[in-house]
Amino acid sequence: MPLESAVQRISSRLSRVGRLPLLSRVSEPSAHAVSEQDAQGFLRSQKLAYDCAVAIGRELQPGWTERRTADLMDVYLRDHGVKTFFHHSFAWFGDRSSFQGFRHYWDFMPSRSRRLEEGQVVILDTAPVVEGYAGDIGFAFAKHPHAELARARSLLLAMRQELLDLFSGPAPTKEIWAKVDQRIREQGFQNCHEKYPLGALGHRLHRVPLPNLRGVGIPFTLHAYWSLLSRGLFPEVLGPWHEGEKEGLWAIEPHFGNERFGIKFEEILIVKDGQAAWLQEDPPHMKLPEGFY
Amino acid sequence: MGKPRFRLYDEESLAKLARLQRENAWDLEREIDWAKGIDPLKPLVALDGDALLFPGASKEQRLAISQMMGLVIAAAIFEMEECLIRLRRECWEAFRDRMPVGPEFSDLGELFFEEELKHSTAFKRYTERYAELLGVELSELLAVLPSLENTRTEKLLKVDLRTRGQTFWWIVANVEQEFLRIHHALRPFKEQLDPLYYEIHHRHFEEEARHVPFPYLVLELLAERSPQPFRFVHGRADVAAAQVLQTLWTLSSLKRLKGVKKLQGVHPFFDTLISAFPILESMPAPQVVWKLLTSTPYVSSLVNLNSHPKVRKEAQARGAVVLPFPEFEGKPLVRY
Amino acid sequence: MSLRQKNATLRGLSTGWWSSSEPAPGKPILFFIHGFPDDAESWRPQFELFEQAGYPVIAPYLRGCGPSEPASDRVRYSRDAVVLDHLEILREECRTWGEREVVVIGHDIGGMHAWTLARMLGPRLKGLVLVNAPDVGQLLRRVTRPKQVAKSSYIPVFLVRGIADRWFGPEADRSVRFARKKGGLTQPLPLPGDVSSLLEHYRAAFRDFRRVLFQKPDLVRAPVLAIAGKDDAFLEVPTQQEFKGYADKVELRVLEGNHWLQIEQKDQVHRLIQRFVEGASHAS
């Protein structure tokens, strides 16, 4: 098929960049083999990122803009010693949490004009780099009881378990993508993660080779672009046509919703010897903190 | 100069003044007895022995002169007050936002304009009814009475206000004093005068007495907060400018009275008035001007700052240049 | 009196503040933010009175002075970082007091932080009080007023690292006394010691100038009381027009006095704030 072969050609050429003499020294080891030390490093990054989302989420008030919220998340993380990011923080409110009307890359940027209204659903997403380990989280919540969101959350948490089964099973990655998509649609929701670049249900995360280099670029930094592009991009992003190994470390972010709101989580999944496990046992979406719905 | 009773940022005294104004405000429809109508056989204002500028005028002519002067005063009042309303944006709103103004002062300002509108409505309505009485259109009567709208004077005042000038408010300060003076002049002759006319003046006086501090507060604000070059120039020059403008406008307003000749034959009132004109025309022009500036009731006291020592004192205390005017001779008024 | 000084580690840095221990139920929190070259003590004449009247009061020490540890990373002095500190302090106190409305009160550069906090409190904000305290954007826009430019001539000196730090460092007492004298402070006020770190607040605000100048500030919808000194040596008296785009309802009060009105005109300021807090404001 012409598209597939084009993708393979591009991917192959991009991955050659990472193997160039000097640049290959900058590439980190493959995320396919994750040591215990690395797992702890990624976990620290995830925990800090979730702490940030919960702390800022707790302070969030009607009237805050998405931009302001995202900026404060970055400030929180910097105050905790984060010098660089895989991507800077995002905040999406209301129908923007399900990417309604998003057509271009920059539509995803936190809006300066969208303000939080009472009762709206919020998604906070951030990806700090802590001691070289990139984390990437997504946390959806409302500040008041929200029946529809609660129903969606039940599905999301069920999907969390199902993803473990799918990654532990024989299905290839593109089939996993299709099954998740089908599950979402069967429940009457829209698939929102298909709107991410390359329709990413997830992506690889790696250690950042130069963690003291401030993250230039918004919202994704040079670290992110390098990390993904130097490895051919397409094998690094779990989209609807992904082909490649399941083994190793993924940031998985199922995201669905309707015209009014979206819900997601983003966690690190490690597949080792055919067995999948979530890196963090107790992310906040498993047991919502007080004041979150 | 003693300590002023009202200071720009003294919220208590300003709030008290506003409260007093609100509590004692009169209602235009309910508290003036419009039903009593106008008595065409009664004078509107008391005259001096010379009937202003008509020595030797007959009894009938004195009545007509008095009635005409009453209408001139009414028109001058509502024209000036309407001018205030027309220039509200330039003379109040523009600098209220650009200068530090407390809420009590802001409140006082809003009340001031509300009441000025009420006063102008009252005097204009009276003039309208008088026009009906005389069998002329209001516009025909207004054509011979003082007018400020769209005149050169108003345009100059607008320009002055745009440069944070004080001329306008010095005129207001002077005119407020004059309104009080007019009422004091009319009061001893109350029973002789047209009751409705007197009642409107009396009501007007009640509220104008409380308006007196307001122009001085505005002047204080302008003096304190205008940018320096404007502050210096206007602070020195604007009292003199006010004197000049006021004089010129008053003289040009009186000139409009010549237009009464066009109304000959319309009503005996106009015929009687026209019959008195030769008395005025026989006087040399310089003598007429001198009398207007020094000894004509209701006119001299408007243009000659010497008739309002309080205004003069305030002006001098603020370092303004005050043009020397001849000594004011307040001539006694006589019973009709 | 039940005021106590508290301390907590906020995002890795020790931070101190004064707070009431036994506030009456139902009263809004009064959050006092000091300026330069002061510390939380500059609000004591006010917060003691309010505390005695049963108001829950909080008076933090800004990052870099008193028990609030200076930060090596300068971003900790930014308005965003300081507002996170203040939100955390509020959260900490509300654990005991319960959720309450907040009146934010700022003096001098504390006003800049007061504006930032006011914009983040949403419906919890009951009011904002500014005593001799314009927002950064308002001050920058006064560049067209020669008198303000002259009065603010010290700010460029503050922005250059190394010069003013010597004056307000360990030997700060003389400089602080000089500044206070110029600002008309005659009442006794304890000297705050080394306040050189407070200069970082000026520098952080300056680094943020792009956001200040080119982005519309968030409108504060709660009532605002702005109290200014007629003869303030450092600030021109504000106007209603300056608040357009900043706040919906502003009550502007000009008092006879200089820069430390909350101390020099203590009773008058207290009465104005009390009336404002009790809701009898004349906000336009």
CA distances to A74, B31, C107 from C79, in Å: 13, 59, 15
Q: How confident is the model at residue B1 (pLDDT cuts 50, 70, 90)?
A: very low
| Residue B250: pLDDT over 70 | yes
Chain C neighbors of B8, CB-CB under 8 A = 254
SS (H, E, C) C106-156: EECHHHHHHHHHHHHCHHHEEEEEEECCCCHHHHHHHHHCHHHHHHCCHHH
Residue A62's Cβ-count burial label (10 Å; 0-12, 13-18, 19+) is middle
Please tell me if residue C161 touches chain B, with a CB cutoff of 8 Å: no
CB contact under 8 A, A75 and C78: yes
The 10s digit of each residue's pLDDT in A26-62 is: 555 455 678 899 999 999 999 999 999 999 999 999 9
Q: How far is C74 from chain B (nearest CA, A)?
A: 36
Residue A16 confidence (pLDDT)? 63
The predicted complex's ipTM stands at: 0.92
Q: How confident is the model at residue B2 (pLDDT cuts 50, 70, 90)?
A: very low
| Residue A20: pLDDT over 70 | no
Structural contact between residues B308 and B179, judged by C-beta atoms closer than 8 angstroms: no
CA distances to B236, C88, C174 from B322, in Å: 9, 64, 50
Residue A8 confidence (pLDDT)? 63
Angle between helices B103-134 and B195-211 (to 10 degrees): 160
Give the pairing type, strands C29-33 and C57-60. parallel
CB contact under 8 A, A59 and C73: no
Cα–Cα dist C121/C127, whole Å: 10
A16-25, A220-229, C6-15, C155-164: least confidently modelled range? A16-25
Residue B224 confidence (pLDDT)? 84
CB contact under 8 A, C283 and B106: no
| Residue B190: pLDDT over 80 | yes
Please tell me if residue C149 touches chain B, with a CB cutoff of 8 Å: no
CB contact under 8 A, A79 and C87: no
Sheet containing strand C102-107, strands side by side: C3-10, C13-20, C57-60, C29-33, C102-107, C125-131, C224-229, C250-255
Q: pTM for the complete prediction?
A: 0.86
SS3 C91: helix
Report the 10 Å Cβ neighbour count for B61. Answer: 19
Residue A18 confidence (pLDDT)? 60
Cα–Cα dist B200/A209, whole Å: 90
Residue A15 confidence (pLDDT)? 65
Mean pLDDT calculated for residue range B240-261: 91
| Residue A21: pLDDT over 70 | no
Q: How far is C28 from chain B (nearest CA, A)?
A: 24
Residue A4 confidence (pLDDT)? 57
- Token digits for C194? 């080394």
B34 contacts: CB under 8 Å, gap ≥ 6: B125, B196
SS3 C265: coil
Residue A148 confidence (pLDDT)? 95
**Which residues 239-258 of C are in CB contact (within 8 Å) with B?**
239-241, 244, 251-256
Cα–Cα dist B25/B111, whole Å: 10
Chain C neighbors of B97, CB-CB under 8 A = 239-241, 244
Chain B neighbors of C230, CB-CB under 8 A = 9
CB contact under 8 A, C238 and B104: no
Residue A14 confidence (pLDDT)? 66
CB contact under 8 A, C284 and B106: yes
- Token digits for A241? 């046509």
| Residue B197: pLDDT over 70 | yes
Chain A neighbors of C86, CB-CB under 8 A = none
| DSSP annotation of A123 | E
**Which residues 219-278 of B are in CB contact (within 8 Å) with C?**
225, 228
Higher pLDDT, B174 or A22: B174
CB contact under 8 A, A75 and C120: no
CB contact under 8 A, B102 and C254: yes
Please tell me whether the peptide bond between A211 and the residue prior to it is cis, using omega within 30 degrees of 0: no
A117-121, A124-128, C192-196: least confidently modelled range? C192-196
If interface means Cβ-Cβ distance under 8 Å, which residues of chain C face chain A? 11-12, 73, 75-76, 78, 80-81, 83-84, 87, 91, 119-124, 215, 218, 221
| Residue B101: pLDDT over 50 | yes
| Residue A183: pLDDT over 90 | yes
B132 contacts: CB under 8 Å, gap ≥ 6: none
| Residue A226: pLDDT over 70 | yes
Find which of C76, C83, C87 to mutate to test the A interface (most A CBs within 10 Å of its CB).
Answer: C87
Find which of C224, C225, C227, C252 to mutate to test the B interface (most B CBs within 10 Å of its CB).
Answer: C252
SS3 A258: coil
Report the 10 Å Cβ neighbour count for B47. Answer: 23
Cα–Cα dist C59/C45, whole Å: 12
Cα–Cα dist A42/A40, whole Å: 5
Q: How confident is the model at residue B161 (pLDDT cuts 50, 70, 90)?
A: very high
Angle between helices B228-255 and B213-225 (to 10 degrees): 140
Residue C117 sits at the vertex; the CA angle it makes with C115 and C118, to the nearest 5 degrees, is 60
Closest residue of A to C76, CA-based? A79
Which residue, chain included where needed, has tokens 């506003």? Answer: B18
State yes or no: chains B and C have 3 or more CB pairs below 8 A: yes
Closest residue of C to A55, CA-based? C88
Mean pLDDT calculated for residue range B180-187: 93
Q: How confident is the model at residue B330 (pLDDT cuts 50, 70, 90)?
A: confident
The 10s digit of each residue's pLDDT in A275-289 is: 999 999 999 999 999
Task: Provide φ and ψ at B299, rounded to 5°.
Answer: -105, -55
Q: How far is B319 from chain C (nearest CA, A)?
A: 21
Q: What is the pLDDT along chain C (284 residues), one digit of tens a residue?
A: 589 999 999 999 999 999 998 889 889 999 999 999 999 999 999 999 999 999 999 999 999 999 999 999 999 999 999 999 999 999 999 999 999 999 999 999 999 999 999 999 999 999 999 999 999 899 988 988 889 999 999 999 999 988 899 889 888 889 999 999 999 999 989 988 888 899 999 999 988 887 788 888 899 999 999 999 999 999 999 998 899 999 989 999 999 999 999 999 999 999 999 999 998 545 54
| DSSP annotation of A252 | E
Of C244, C252, C255, nearest to B101 by CB-CB distance is C252
